[in-house]
Copies of this chain bind each other. A is one copy, B any other.
Amino acid sequence: MSITRRKFITKVAQYGGSACAAMLALKLLDSSIAGAFSLSGSGKGKRVIILGAGTAGMAAAYELGKVGYDCQILEARNRAGGRCWTVRRGDEETEVGGTRQVAGFEPGLYFNPGPARIPQHHITLNYCKEFGIPIEVFTNLNEAAYYYNESAGSLASKRVRIREAKADMRGHTSELLAKAIHQDELDLAITSEDKEKMVEFLRREGDLSPDLFYKGSSRRGYSTFPGASLEPGPGKREDPFDLKALIQSGFGNYFSSEYSIDQQMTMFEPVGGIDQIAKAFEQRLSDKITYGAEVKEIRKTANGVRITYADRTGRLRQVTGDFCICTIPLPVLKGIPSDLSPQLKEAIAGVTYAQTGKSGLQFARRFWEDDDRIFGGITRTNLNITQIFYPSHNYYAKKGILVGHYNFEEKAVEMGNLAPAARIERALYEGSKIHPQYPKEFETGFAVAWHKIRYSLGGWASYTSTTRERYYPTLNQPDGPIYLAGEHLSYLTGWIAGALESAQKVATAIHRQVLSGT
Protein backbone atom coordinates (compact mmCIF):
# COMPACT_ATOMS: atom_id res chain seq x y z
CA MET A 1 0.00 0.00 0.00
CA SER A 2 1.08 3.58 -0.40
CA ILE A 3 -1.63 6.16 -0.11
CA THR A 4 -1.30 8.96 -2.64
CA ARG A 5 -2.02 12.62 -2.22
CA ARG A 6 -4.98 12.40 -4.57
CA LYS A 7 -6.45 9.54 -2.59
CA PHE A 8 -6.04 11.48 0.61
CA ILE A 9 -7.79 14.55 -0.70
CA THR A 10 -10.73 12.53 -1.95
CA LYS A 11 -10.92 10.63 1.34
CA VAL A 12 -10.79 13.68 3.58
CA ALA A 13 -14.48 14.29 3.04
CA GLN A 14 -15.18 11.10 4.99
CA TYR A 15 -14.13 12.89 8.14
CA GLY A 16 -16.37 15.86 7.48
CA GLY A 17 -14.07 17.89 5.28
CA SER A 18 -13.12 20.21 8.06
CA ALA A 19 -9.45 20.01 7.15
CA CYS A 20 -10.22 22.53 4.44
CA ALA A 21 -11.79 24.86 6.96
CA ALA A 22 -8.72 24.42 9.11
CA MET A 23 -6.53 25.31 6.14
CA LEU A 24 -8.38 28.55 5.70
CA ALA A 25 -8.53 29.33 9.39
CA LEU A 26 -4.85 28.81 10.09
CA LYS A 27 -2.15 31.10 8.80
CA LEU A 28 -0.07 29.04 6.39
CA LEU A 29 2.99 31.15 6.68
CA ASP A 30 4.76 33.29 9.23
CA SER A 31 5.73 35.59 6.39
CA SER A 32 7.77 37.94 8.53
CA ILE A 33 10.31 35.28 9.33
CA ALA A 34 10.29 33.07 6.27
CA GLY A 35 10.40 35.43 3.31
CA ALA A 36 13.17 35.18 0.73
CA PHE A 37 14.74 38.50 -0.15
CA SER A 38 15.30 39.80 -3.64
CA LEU A 39 15.50 43.17 -5.37
CA SER A 40 13.96 43.69 -8.78
CA GLY A 41 14.88 46.18 -11.48
CA SER A 42 18.41 47.15 -12.48
CA GLY A 43 21.12 49.15 -10.74
CA LYS A 44 23.45 48.98 -13.77
CA GLY A 45 25.88 51.86 -14.01
CA LYS A 46 25.73 52.73 -10.31
CA ARG A 47 28.82 52.30 -8.19
CA VAL A 48 28.66 51.56 -4.46
CA ILE A 49 31.68 51.72 -2.17
CA ILE A 50 31.19 49.43 0.82
CA LEU A 51 33.32 49.89 3.91
CA GLY A 52 33.91 46.58 5.66
CA ALA A 53 33.73 43.00 4.38
CA GLY A 54 31.85 41.68 7.38
CA THR A 55 28.55 39.91 6.86
CA ALA A 56 26.66 43.22 6.52
CA GLY A 57 28.98 44.64 3.87
CA MET A 58 29.19 41.40 1.94
CA ALA A 59 25.45 40.76 2.05
CA ALA A 60 24.79 44.26 0.74
CA ALA A 61 27.33 43.76 -2.08
CA TYR A 62 25.85 40.35 -2.84
CA GLU A 63 22.26 41.58 -3.07
CA LEU A 64 23.11 44.77 -4.96
CA GLY A 65 25.40 42.82 -7.28
CA LYS A 66 22.51 40.53 -8.22
CA VAL A 67 20.71 43.50 -9.80
CA GLY A 68 23.70 44.97 -11.56
CA TYR A 69 25.33 47.38 -9.13
CA ASP A 70 29.11 47.78 -9.34
CA CYS A 71 30.25 47.27 -5.75
CA GLN A 72 33.71 47.59 -4.27
CA ILE A 73 34.36 46.55 -0.69
CA LEU A 74 37.26 48.01 1.29
CA GLU A 75 38.33 45.72 4.12
CA ALA A 76 40.98 46.73 6.65
CA ARG A 77 41.83 43.16 7.61
CA ASN A 78 43.49 40.61 5.41
CA ARG A 79 40.44 38.40 5.69
CA ALA A 80 36.69 38.80 5.21
CA GLY A 81 34.05 38.15 7.85
CA GLY A 82 34.82 40.69 10.56
CA ARG A 83 33.45 39.30 13.81
CA CYS A 84 32.07 36.29 11.91
CA TRP A 85 35.44 34.67 12.51
CA THR A 86 36.79 31.19 13.09
CA VAL A 87 40.28 30.67 14.49
CA ARG A 88 42.31 27.69 13.27
CA ARG A 89 45.93 26.61 13.54
CA GLY A 90 48.28 29.39 12.46
CA ASP A 91 45.70 32.20 12.62
CA GLU A 92 47.01 35.22 14.44
CA GLU A 93 45.78 38.33 16.18
CA THR A 94 47.44 41.27 17.90
CA GLU A 95 45.06 43.32 20.01
CA VAL A 96 45.38 47.08 20.44
CA GLY A 97 48.45 47.52 22.62
CA GLY A 98 48.70 43.77 22.92
CA THR A 99 51.07 40.95 22.16
CA ARG A 100 50.87 38.74 19.09
CA GLN A 101 48.85 35.55 19.51
CA VAL A 102 49.20 32.63 17.08
CA ALA A 103 46.72 29.77 17.31
CA GLY A 104 48.39 26.42 17.95
CA PHE A 105 45.25 24.31 17.63
CA GLU A 106 45.39 20.84 16.14
CA PRO A 107 44.50 20.80 12.42
CA GLY A 108 40.77 20.23 12.04
CA LEU A 109 39.87 21.86 15.35
CA TYR A 110 38.53 25.40 15.48
CA PHE A 111 37.24 28.13 17.77
CA ASN A 112 34.56 30.75 17.02
CA PRO A 113 35.57 33.80 19.09
CA GLY A 114 32.57 35.82 17.93
CA PRO A 115 29.07 34.69 17.06
CA ALA A 116 28.65 30.91 17.12
CA ARG A 117 24.97 30.03 17.02
CA ILE A 118 21.93 30.61 14.85
CA PRO A 119 18.33 30.47 16.08
CA GLN A 120 15.87 28.73 13.81
CA HIS A 121 13.82 31.83 13.02
CA HIS A 122 16.79 33.80 11.65
CA ILE A 123 17.43 35.23 8.20
CA THR A 124 20.89 33.72 8.74
CA LEU A 125 19.47 30.24 8.11
CA ASN A 126 17.96 31.47 4.84
CA TYR A 127 21.40 32.45 3.55
CA CYS A 128 22.85 29.13 4.76
CA LYS A 129 20.16 27.40 2.73
CA GLU A 130 20.71 29.61 -0.31
CA PHE A 131 24.47 28.92 -0.20
CA GLY A 132 24.12 25.23 0.62
CA ILE A 133 26.10 25.57 3.85
CA PRO A 134 25.57 22.40 5.90
CA ILE A 135 24.28 23.12 9.40
CA GLU A 136 24.21 21.06 12.58
CA VAL A 137 22.41 21.55 15.86
CA PHE A 138 24.08 23.87 18.35
CA THR A 139 23.18 22.28 21.68
CA ASN A 140 22.55 25.50 23.52
CA LEU A 141 20.80 23.65 26.28
CA ASN A 142 22.13 20.56 27.99
CA GLU A 143 20.64 19.42 31.27
CA ALA A 144 23.80 17.44 32.04
CA ALA A 145 26.03 20.52 32.16
CA TYR A 146 26.84 22.20 35.48
CA TYR A 147 26.11 25.23 37.60
CA TYR A 148 28.91 26.35 39.91
CA ASN A 149 28.69 29.44 42.11
CA GLU A 150 30.94 30.83 44.77
CA SER A 151 27.94 31.95 46.79
CA ALA A 152 26.33 31.59 50.17
CA GLY A 153 24.74 28.43 51.48
CA SER A 154 25.43 24.74 51.39
CA LEU A 155 25.70 24.59 47.59
CA ALA A 156 28.48 27.18 47.51
CA SER A 157 31.48 26.09 45.43
CA LYS A 158 29.82 22.82 44.51
CA ARG A 159 29.24 21.79 40.95
CA VAL A 160 25.64 20.78 40.41
CA ARG A 161 24.09 19.30 37.27
CA ILE A 162 21.61 21.68 35.66
CA ARG A 163 18.99 18.93 35.80
CA GLU A 164 19.42 18.67 39.58
CA ALA A 165 18.90 22.38 40.13
CA LYS A 166 15.98 22.55 37.71
CA ALA A 167 14.13 19.51 39.01
CA ASP A 168 14.51 20.61 42.63
CA MET A 169 13.61 24.25 42.05
CA ARG A 170 10.58 23.23 39.98
CA GLY A 171 9.67 20.73 42.65
CA HIS A 172 9.83 23.18 45.53
CA THR A 173 8.08 26.05 43.76
CA SER A 174 5.37 23.76 42.41
CA GLU A 175 4.83 22.36 45.89
CA LEU A 176 4.44 25.85 47.37
CA LEU A 177 1.99 27.01 44.72
CA ALA A 178 0.04 23.74 44.56
CA LYS A 179 -0.52 23.75 48.31
CA ALA A 180 -1.50 27.40 48.37
CA ILE A 181 -4.07 26.81 45.63
CA HIS A 182 -5.26 23.55 47.12
CA GLN A 183 -5.79 25.22 50.49
CA ASP A 184 -7.44 28.18 48.80
CA GLU A 185 -4.93 30.68 50.15
CA LEU A 186 -4.77 32.61 46.89
CA ASP A 187 -7.43 34.85 45.48
CA LEU A 188 -7.80 33.16 42.09
CA ALA A 189 -10.61 34.17 39.77
CA ILE A 190 -11.14 30.65 38.44
CA THR A 191 -13.62 27.88 39.15
CA SER A 192 -12.82 25.15 41.65
CA GLU A 193 -12.70 22.69 38.76
CA ASP A 194 -9.99 24.81 37.11
CA LYS A 195 -8.20 25.04 40.46
CA GLU A 196 -8.03 21.27 40.53
CA LYS A 197 -6.63 21.27 37.00
CA MET A 198 -4.06 23.83 38.06
CA VAL A 199 -3.02 21.68 41.02
CA GLU A 200 -2.78 18.67 38.74
CA PHE A 201 -0.57 20.67 36.37
CA LEU A 202 1.69 21.65 39.27
CA ARG A 203 1.84 18.06 40.48
CA ARG A 204 3.23 17.04 37.10
CA GLU A 205 5.37 20.13 36.70
CA GLY A 206 7.08 19.53 40.03
CA ASP A 207 6.87 15.72 40.13
CA LEU A 208 4.99 16.03 43.43
CA SER A 209 3.57 13.22 45.52
CA PRO A 210 -0.22 12.75 45.53
CA ASP A 211 -0.34 14.79 48.75
CA LEU A 212 1.62 17.57 46.98
CA PHE A 213 5.07 17.19 48.52
CA TYR A 214 8.28 17.35 46.54
CA LYS A 215 10.45 14.46 47.69
CA GLY A 216 13.01 14.41 44.89
CA SER A 217 12.68 13.08 41.37
CA SER A 218 14.40 10.84 38.88
CA ARG A 219 14.44 13.94 36.66
CA ARG A 220 17.46 15.14 38.62
CA GLY A 221 19.39 12.03 37.65
CA TYR A 222 20.89 9.21 39.65
CA SER A 223 24.05 8.42 41.56
CA THR A 224 23.76 4.96 39.98
CA PHE A 225 21.82 4.91 36.73
CA PRO A 226 19.11 2.30 36.11
CA GLY A 227 20.39 -0.82 34.43
CA ALA A 228 19.43 -4.33 33.52
CA SER A 229 18.82 -7.49 35.53
CA LEU A 230 18.63 -7.02 39.30
CA GLU A 231 21.81 -4.94 39.60
CA PRO A 232 22.16 -1.95 39.43
CA GLY A 233 18.41 -2.18 39.33
CA PRO A 234 16.06 0.76 39.15
CA GLY A 235 18.74 3.38 39.79
CA LYS A 236 19.86 5.06 42.96
CA ARG A 237 18.76 8.61 43.65
CA GLU A 238 20.22 11.31 45.85
CA ASP A 239 18.11 13.45 48.16
CA PRO A 240 16.96 16.73 46.65
CA PHE A 241 18.56 20.02 47.61
CA ASP A 242 16.46 22.04 49.99
CA LEU A 243 14.84 25.29 48.93
CA LYS A 244 17.02 27.44 51.17
CA ALA A 245 20.22 26.03 49.69
CA LEU A 246 18.91 26.53 46.17
CA ILE A 247 17.85 30.12 46.77
CA GLN A 248 21.19 30.97 48.32
CA SER A 249 23.06 29.30 45.47
CA GLY A 250 21.54 31.64 42.90
CA PHE A 251 21.27 28.78 40.39
CA GLY A 252 17.66 29.57 39.62
CA ASN A 253 18.69 32.85 38.03
CA TYR A 254 20.43 30.90 35.28
CA PHE A 255 17.27 29.11 34.16
CA SER A 256 15.92 32.04 32.20
CA SER A 257 19.07 32.33 30.08
CA GLU A 258 17.54 29.57 27.97
CA TYR A 259 14.12 31.21 27.73
CA SER A 260 14.75 34.22 25.52
CA ILE A 261 13.54 33.80 21.97
CA ASP A 262 17.05 33.91 20.53
CA GLN A 263 18.39 31.27 22.92
CA GLN A 264 15.60 28.72 22.63
CA MET A 265 16.17 25.36 21.01
CA THR A 266 16.47 24.56 18.13
CA MET A 267 19.74 26.43 17.47
CA PHE A 268 22.28 25.74 14.72
CA GLU A 269 25.88 26.23 13.73
CA PRO A 270 27.45 25.88 10.29
CA VAL A 271 29.42 22.64 10.02
CA GLY A 272 33.12 23.52 10.16
CA GLY A 273 32.95 26.96 11.78
CA ILE A 274 30.82 30.10 11.77
CA ASP A 275 33.08 31.61 9.09
CA GLN A 276 31.57 29.25 6.53
CA ILE A 277 28.91 31.95 6.21
CA ALA A 278 31.52 34.65 5.60
CA LYS A 279 33.41 32.41 3.18
CA ALA A 280 30.25 31.70 1.18
CA PHE A 281 29.69 35.41 0.64
CA GLU A 282 33.39 35.99 -0.01
CA GLN A 283 33.50 33.31 -2.75
CA ARG A 284 30.71 35.12 -4.56
CA LEU A 285 32.46 38.49 -4.24
CA SER A 286 36.09 37.53 -4.72
CA ASP A 287 36.89 40.25 -7.28
CA LYS A 288 35.07 42.95 -5.34
CA ILE A 289 36.95 42.95 -2.03
CA THR A 290 40.14 44.98 -1.47
CA TYR A 291 41.91 43.57 1.61
CA GLY A 292 44.29 45.45 3.88
CA ALA A 293 42.49 48.68 3.02
CA GLU A 294 42.21 50.88 6.10
CA VAL A 295 39.73 53.72 5.61
CA LYS A 296 41.27 57.12 6.35
CA GLU A 297 38.65 59.59 5.11
CA ILE A 298 34.99 59.52 4.12
CA ARG A 299 34.07 62.51 1.94
CA LYS A 300 30.97 63.62 0.09
CA THR A 301 31.41 64.89 -3.48
CA ALA A 302 29.05 66.69 -5.84
CA ASN A 303 27.71 63.36 -7.16
CA GLY A 304 28.55 60.83 -4.51
CA VAL A 305 31.41 59.84 -2.23
CA ARG A 306 35.18 59.75 -2.20
CA ILE A 307 36.90 57.33 0.18
CA THR A 308 40.58 57.57 1.02
CA TYR A 309 42.23 54.43 2.35
CA ALA A 310 45.73 53.22 3.14
CA ASP A 311 46.66 50.06 1.28
CA ARG A 312 48.83 47.23 2.65
CA THR A 313 51.98 49.23 2.00
CA GLY A 314 50.59 52.25 3.82
CA ARG A 315 50.16 54.17 0.57
CA LEU A 316 47.05 56.35 0.41
CA ARG A 317 44.57 55.59 -2.35
CA GLN A 318 41.19 56.99 -3.34
CA VAL A 319 38.03 55.47 -4.73
CA THR A 320 34.78 57.16 -5.69
CA GLY A 321 31.23 55.97 -5.99
CA ASP A 322 27.63 57.05 -6.24
CA PHE A 323 26.87 55.64 -2.81
CA CYS A 324 28.70 54.45 0.26
CA ILE A 325 27.56 51.75 2.66
CA CYS A 326 29.58 52.10 5.82
CA THR A 327 29.57 49.01 8.07
CA ILE A 328 32.53 50.09 10.20
CA PRO A 329 31.74 49.53 13.91
CA LEU A 330 30.86 52.84 15.56
CA PRO A 331 33.81 52.96 18.01
CA VAL A 332 36.15 52.68 15.00
CA LEU A 333 34.11 54.96 12.75
CA LYS A 334 34.12 57.80 15.24
CA GLY A 335 37.91 58.08 14.82
CA ILE A 336 37.79 58.43 11.00
CA PRO A 337 37.70 61.95 9.52
CA SER A 338 34.54 62.41 7.47
CA ASP A 339 31.96 64.79 6.05
CA LEU A 340 29.22 63.15 8.08
CA SER A 341 26.79 65.60 9.66
CA PRO A 342 27.44 66.78 13.22
CA GLN A 343 24.18 65.15 14.29
CA LEU A 344 25.25 61.79 12.85
CA LYS A 345 28.73 62.14 14.37
CA GLU A 346 27.14 62.74 17.75
CA ALA A 347 25.04 59.59 17.35
CA ILE A 348 28.08 57.55 16.26
CA ALA A 349 29.97 58.66 19.35
CA GLY A 350 26.98 58.19 21.62
CA VAL A 351 26.45 54.44 21.30
CA THR A 352 28.38 52.20 23.66
CA TYR A 353 29.71 48.80 22.56
CA ALA A 354 29.72 45.62 24.62
CA GLN A 355 32.95 44.66 26.33
CA THR A 356 33.20 40.91 26.00
CA GLY A 357 35.78 38.17 25.76
CA LYS A 358 36.06 34.50 24.86
CA SER A 359 38.74 31.84 24.90
CA GLY A 360 39.15 28.52 23.14
CA LEU A 361 40.96 25.80 25.09
CA GLN A 362 42.18 22.66 23.37
CA PHE A 363 42.28 19.47 25.44
CA ALA A 364 43.97 16.18 24.62
CA ARG A 365 40.88 14.22 25.63
CA ARG A 366 37.16 14.95 25.55
CA PHE A 367 36.84 14.28 29.28
CA TRP A 368 33.52 16.17 29.40
CA GLU A 369 32.07 13.47 27.17
CA ASP A 370 33.98 10.43 28.46
CA ASP A 371 33.86 11.20 32.18
CA ASP A 372 30.98 13.64 32.66
CA ARG A 373 28.69 12.51 29.82
CA ILE A 374 28.20 16.10 28.69
CA PHE A 375 27.67 16.35 24.94
CA GLY A 376 27.35 20.01 24.05
CA GLY A 377 25.65 22.67 26.12
CA ILE A 378 26.80 25.33 28.54
CA THR A 379 28.05 25.29 32.13
CA ARG A 380 27.33 28.52 34.00
CA THR A 381 29.19 30.01 36.93
CA ASN A 382 29.64 33.29 38.79
CA LEU A 383 33.41 32.97 38.42
CA ASN A 384 35.01 35.42 36.00
CA ILE A 385 34.85 32.88 33.16
CA THR A 386 31.00 33.06 33.38
CA GLN A 387 30.41 30.17 30.95
CA ILE A 388 32.02 27.04 29.55
CA PHE A 389 30.71 25.87 26.17
CA TYR A 390 31.11 22.23 25.19
CA PRO A 391 31.49 21.63 21.46
CA SER A 392 28.37 20.70 19.45
CA HIS A 393 30.35 18.81 16.82
CA ASN A 394 32.85 16.01 16.39
CA TYR A 395 31.34 14.11 19.30
CA TYR A 396 33.60 11.18 20.34
CA ALA A 397 36.64 12.69 18.59
CA LYS A 398 39.90 12.29 20.46
CA LYS A 399 40.49 15.98 21.14
CA GLY A 400 38.28 19.01 21.36
CA ILE A 401 38.12 22.73 22.02
CA LEU A 402 36.00 24.13 24.84
CA VAL A 403 35.02 27.76 25.09
CA GLY A 404 36.86 28.34 28.36
CA HIS A 405 35.30 31.69 29.13
CA TYR A 406 32.64 33.90 27.62
CA ASN A 407 32.16 36.94 29.80
CA PHE A 408 30.85 40.48 29.67
CA GLU A 409 31.46 44.00 30.95
CA GLU A 410 33.37 44.23 34.28
CA LYS A 411 34.44 40.60 34.08
CA ALA A 412 35.48 40.94 30.44
CA VAL A 413 37.43 44.12 31.22
CA GLU A 414 39.22 42.44 34.10
CA MET A 415 40.06 39.41 31.96
CA GLY A 416 40.89 41.59 28.94
CA ASN A 417 43.42 43.58 30.97
CA LEU A 418 45.52 40.42 31.18
CA ALA A 419 47.81 39.38 28.36
CA PRO A 420 46.32 36.55 26.28
CA ALA A 421 48.48 33.88 27.93
CA ALA A 422 47.42 35.07 31.37
CA ARG A 423 43.76 34.98 30.31
CA ILE A 424 44.20 31.34 29.37
CA GLU A 425 45.79 30.66 32.75
CA ARG A 426 42.88 32.34 34.49
CA ALA A 427 40.34 30.38 32.42
CA LEU A 428 42.18 27.16 33.24
CA TYR A 429 42.48 27.96 36.92
CA GLU A 430 38.80 28.80 37.31
CA GLY A 431 37.58 26.09 34.97
CA SER A 432 39.51 23.45 36.88
CA LYS A 433 37.28 24.10 39.88
CA ILE A 434 34.48 22.64 37.79
CA HIS A 435 36.52 20.25 35.63
CA PRO A 436 39.54 19.02 37.60
CA GLN A 437 40.70 17.25 34.44
CA TYR A 438 41.80 20.62 33.00
CA PRO A 439 45.46 20.62 34.15
CA LYS A 440 46.15 17.09 32.97
CA GLU A 441 44.46 17.42 29.59
CA PHE A 442 45.10 21.04 28.51
CA GLU A 443 47.19 21.57 25.40
CA THR A 444 46.82 25.07 23.94
CA GLY A 445 44.53 28.09 23.91
CA PHE A 446 43.56 31.34 22.21
CA ALA A 447 41.88 34.27 23.98
CA VAL A 448 40.10 37.30 22.59
CA ALA A 449 38.95 40.56 24.25
CA TRP A 450 36.66 42.11 21.67
CA HIS A 451 36.89 45.64 23.05
CA LYS A 452 40.63 45.45 22.28
CA ILE A 453 40.36 43.85 18.83
CA ARG A 454 41.50 46.24 16.10
CA TYR A 455 38.82 47.32 13.60
CA SER A 456 36.11 46.08 16.00
CA LEU A 457 36.72 47.71 19.42
CA GLY A 458 33.74 45.98 20.95
CA GLY A 459 31.46 42.98 20.78
CA TRP A 460 28.31 44.66 19.51
CA ALA A 461 26.31 47.86 19.85
CA SER A 462 24.95 47.88 23.37
CA TYR A 463 22.03 50.29 23.34
CA THR A 464 20.28 51.54 26.43
CA SER A 465 16.68 52.61 26.02
CA THR A 466 18.00 56.18 26.07
CA THR A 467 20.62 55.75 23.35
CA ARG A 468 18.20 53.69 21.29
CA GLU A 469 15.69 56.52 21.39
CA ARG A 470 18.18 59.35 20.99
CA TYR A 471 20.62 58.02 18.39
CA TYR A 472 19.17 55.01 16.57
CA PRO A 473 16.78 56.95 14.28
CA THR A 474 19.62 59.28 13.23
CA LEU A 475 21.98 56.38 12.53
CA ASN A 476 19.32 54.90 10.25
CA GLN A 477 18.92 58.08 8.16
CA PRO A 478 21.20 58.20 5.12
CA ASP A 479 23.52 61.19 5.21
CA GLY A 480 23.32 62.15 1.54
CA PRO A 481 24.87 59.22 -0.38
CA ILE A 482 26.19 57.55 2.78
CA TYR A 483 24.25 54.75 4.51
CA LEU A 484 25.29 53.00 7.69
CA ALA A 485 24.70 49.24 7.96
CA GLY A 486 25.58 46.45 10.39
CA GLU A 487 24.24 44.68 13.45
CA HIS A 488 24.26 48.08 15.18
CA LEU A 489 21.55 49.26 12.74
CA SER A 490 19.17 46.57 13.91
CA TYR A 491 17.18 45.30 16.85
CA LEU A 492 19.20 42.07 16.65
CA THR A 493 22.45 43.54 17.91
CA GLY A 494 25.24 41.03 18.34
CA TRP A 495 23.64 38.58 15.91
CA ILE A 496 24.74 37.92 12.33
CA ALA A 497 21.03 38.18 11.60
CA GLY A 498 21.10 41.84 12.60
CA ALA A 499 23.90 42.52 10.12
CA LEU A 500 22.08 40.64 7.35
CA GLU A 501 18.72 42.30 8.01
CA SER A 502 20.44 45.69 8.00
CA ALA A 503 22.23 44.91 4.74
CA GLN A 504 18.94 44.02 3.06
CA LYS A 505 17.29 47.18 4.37
CA VAL A 506 20.09 49.43 3.14
CA ALA A 507 20.34 47.68 -0.22
CA THR A 508 16.60 48.17 -0.61
CA ALA A 509 16.80 51.84 0.35
CA ILE A 510 19.60 52.58 -2.13
CA HIS A 511 17.85 50.65 -4.87
CA ARG A 512 14.60 52.46 -4.23
CA GLN A 513 16.43 55.78 -4.49
CA VAL A 514 18.12 54.75 -7.75
CA LEU A 515 14.88 53.49 -9.27
CA SER A 516 13.04 56.67 -8.28
CA GLY A 517 15.79 58.67 -9.99
CA THR A 518 16.12 61.14 -7.11
Q: Which residues of A contact B (CB under 8 A)?
A: 1-5, 7-9, 11-12, 14-15, 18-19, 22-24, 26, 28-30, 32-34, 99-104, 120-121, 125, 128-129, 135-137, 139, 141-144, 159, 163, 166-167, 169-170, 173, 176-177, 180-181, 185-186, 188-190, 194, 197-198, 200-202, 204-205, 207, 218-235, 243-244, 247-248, 250, 252-253, 255-256, 259-261, 264-266, 268, 370-377, 392, 395-396, 419-421, 424-425, 428-429, 432-433, 436-446, 473, 476, 489-492, 498, 501-506, 509
Contact = CB atoms under 8 A, between A and B. Distances in A.
A247 B421 contact: no
A473 B424 CA distance: 54
Contact of A420 (B1, B144, B428, B501): B1
Given A12-B439, A205-B255, 18 more contacts: A5-B439, A7-B425, A11-B429, A22-B433, A28-B436, A34-B370, A139-B266, A144-B264, A173-B173, A197-B250, A198-B243, A200-B253, A201-B247, A205-B252, A229-B476, A229-B490, A229-B509, A265-B265
A264 B26 CA distance: 31
A21 B57 CA distance: 50
Nearest to A371: B29
B261 A221 contact: yes
A455 to B, nearest CB: 21
Contacts of A121: 144, 221, 225, 373
A197 B473 contact: no
A104 B445 contact: no
Contacts of A374: 120
A508 B172 CA distance: 42
A266 B377 contact: yes
Contacts of A136: 136-137
Nearest to A129: B396
User: Which residue, A141, A266, A392, has most C-beta atoms of chain B within 10 A?
Assistant: A266
B260 A218 contact: yes
Copies of this protein in the assembly total 2
A3 to B, nearest CB: 5
B219 A491 contact: no
A429 B201 contact: no
B2 A373 contact: no
Contacts of A197: 247-248, 250
A224 B12 CA distance: 33
12 contacts: A1-B421, A2-B104, A2-B444, A19-B436, A23-B439, A32-B224, A120-B142, A139-B266, A142-B265, A176-B180, A220-B261, A226-B492
Given A228-B492, A443-B5, A260 B190 contact: no
B491 A1 contact: no
B100 A8 contact: no
The 4 A-B residue pairs with the shortest CB-CB distance, nearest first, are A23-B436, A228-B501, A228-B490, A137-B137
Contact of A135 (B8, B395, B505): B395
A166 B173 CA distance: 16
Nearest to A190: B244
A239 B141 CA distance: 27
A273 B424 CA distance: 41
Nearest to A373: B121
Contacts of A194: 244, 247-248
A503 B228 CA distance: 8
Given A3-B444, A102-B1, A225 B33 contact: yes
A200 to B, nearest CB: 7
Contact of A218 (B30, B99, B261, B502): B261
Nearest to A259: B219
A505 B438 CA distance: 34
A96 to B, nearest CB: 16
Given A11-B425, A197-B248, A248-B197, A19 B439 contact: yes
Given A137-B392, A421-B1, A436-B22, A373 B205 contact: no
A510 B442 CA distance: 42
Contacts of A15: 429
